[in-house]
Amino acid sequence: MHYRTIISLWALSILATPVIAQDLSDAEISTVPVADGIYMLTGPGGNIGLSVGDDGAFLIDDQFAPLTDKIMAAVAALTDKPVEFLVNTHFHGDHVGGNESFGKAGSVIIAHENARHRLTTKQVIAAFGMEMEPAPLEALPVVTFPGTITVHYNGDVITVFHAKHAHTDGDAIIHFQKANVIHAGDIVFNGFYPFIDASNGGNIHGVIHAVNAILELCDEETRIIPGHGGVASREDLVAYREMLMVVYARIQSMLEQGMSVEQIVGAKPTADYDTQYGQGIFKPDQWVGLVASGMAEHQPDQGMH
């Protein structure tokens, strides 16, 4: 659709500026304590989760390849033990760019089977107009799972489970049961409208379902590491879910009335949420266009394909 083309050109321009064209040599990796022995590492890419303890280091995502040395240094500042396990929340480059280096260093890489499949084949992220070449062998997950896998490590029970058709079709959520910490990957953008990769199996309905699954594991003390943004609370996630559900219902109603994507964008269905969520990578009109386009493609007999 024409509006999707506009979105793609815009998204490619903002993606290329901070990520591809920018020199990452000056980028910093910051360490944020989350719970006893659990940290969030932040930088230009997706948020990294880290558990350190007697067994070693358990890492979640690894940002961009040029940052690997800095990520390893941040880990080394907290433990002298190696990164034994590395979980990928999904296949996007700002979350798996360091896979090759960690794989070569001996880390066991874990991911959902769909994420591994996408890493082994050429992928197109349509919203950003970008292509991802197949990853080298050393960067590929060596352990995959269809639904759930449990790792007993650093005195915790770490459950890694699949969220179907959410941010992508290969999302993993990681739950540290004893520490009461959850890494949500890009299912959660804390304080921002989220990117939903419709070209790789994602949709807003699946994101809502995944957020519901996360909330079922939460109490008032749970700390949630999002894919982007600061550490979140259950209260933050409840508000995020409400926004997603309300916007989904509004856009669905407009599609059922026969409105085009352009008309839906003009109707500003996110207006009452824009102050809180509209200051991130997607501005309100852009995000509505992206979400509405994805929803329109799955409307039965609407003639909007």
pLDDT tens for the chain, 305 residues long, are: 343 433 343 343 333 333 444 568 889 999 999 999 999 999 999 999 999 999 999 999 999 999 999 999 999 999 999 999 999 999 999 999 999 999 999 999 999 999 999 999 999 998 888 899 999 999 999 999 999 999 999 999 999 999 999 999 999 999 999 999 999 999 999 999 999 999 999 999 999 999 999 999 999 999 999 999 999 999 999 999 999 999 999 999 999 999 999 999 999 999 999 999 999 988 999 999 999 999 998 775 443 33
Q: Are the CB atoms for 64 and 19 separated by under 8 Å?
A: yes
pLDDT of residue 129: 85
pLDDT of residue 238: 99
pLDDT of residue 304: 33
pLDDT of residue 16: 34
Query: What domains lie within the chain, and their CATH numbers?
Result: 2-234 (3.60.15.10)
Look at the block and give the residue holding tokens 């003390």.
221
- The values of phi and psi at residue 107, to 5°, are -70, 140
pLDDT of residue 21: 40
Q: Are the CB atoms for 196 and 167 separated by under 8 Å?
A: yes
pLDDT of residue 20: 42
